Amino acid sequence: MQGIELIKTEPFPKDTNIDLIFADGDAKELLRVIDSRLSSIYEYLENDNLDILGDSAELFTGLGFVALQRYINTVCKAMEIEKERAFKLGPQHSGGFTIIRIIDDAANYWKHSVEWGRNEEANKKPNSRKKIIKTFESLGRSIDEAYPLTCILFQISQPKKTSLIAALENLERWKMELIQAQKPNNNAEKNDP
């Protein structure tokens, strides 16, 4: 049986929020496990086995998006920031939405799409479904296409190799932007007599 390699981390300053430490380490470990499986699937897909493994790739990609969503939620809770405010920060995709919103909507799609039905309910879309559709369309994707999550992961991983770890790197940049946005303005203190 093959063991899981644990992530070694550097010591953190005393004022570091412990929830953020766990968000980083646990997320990376889980995403590496899922990425390993996806890499194996992608190898077979390159050999024209799309019909056989496309569903598996979508399954593992969906699980990865939910793990990334958990990371987003953990960071928002630990930093006491509303998700809607947090969704305005961080790297932005050329389609117009931030990567964090794309990831959140992709996770929600994977969790809830089986409840929706398909085109027959097009005029009865709940707001969350409309939001997901708008996000997917900004990427040139549709909720009705085959394997939209796999395609979205490819798009948000660029220019790196398609992986959940590449997507997590975008979230880490987002988290650093949140931390910077919450720091008090040091310039105001320096200007006080």
Query: pLDDT of 14-28, one tens digit each?
Result: 455 545 555 567 788
50 found inside a domain = yes
Which range of 20-29, 48-57, 60-69 scores highest in mean pLDDT? It is 60-69
Q: Provide the CA 182 distance to its chain's centre, in angstroms.
A: 22
Task: Give the span between the Cα atoms of 76 and 175, in whole angstroms.
Answer: 9
Asked if 107 and 71 count as a contact pair (C-beta separation under 8 A), the reply is no
149 found inside a domain = yes
Q: Is the pLDDT of residue 125 over 80?
A: no
Which range of 62-66, 128-132, 146-150 scores highest in mean pLDDT? It is 62-66
> Residue 126 to residues 25, 72, 86, 109: CA-CA distances in angstroms?
35, 23, 23, 12
54 found inside a domain = yes
DSSP state, 10? -
7 found inside a domain = no
129 found inside a domain = yes
Task: Give the span between the Cα atoms of 25 and 31, in whole angstroms.
Answer: 10
Note if the pTM is more than 0.85: no
140 found inside a domain = yes
Q: Per-residue pLDDT averaged across 77-101, rounded?
A: 90
9 found inside a domain = no
Please state the domain count of the chain. 1
Structural domain of 32 = 18-184
Q: Is the pLDDT of residue 6 over 70?
A: no
| Residue 192 pLDDT class (50, 70, 90 cuts) | very low
What per-residue confidence (pLDDT) applies to 130? 87
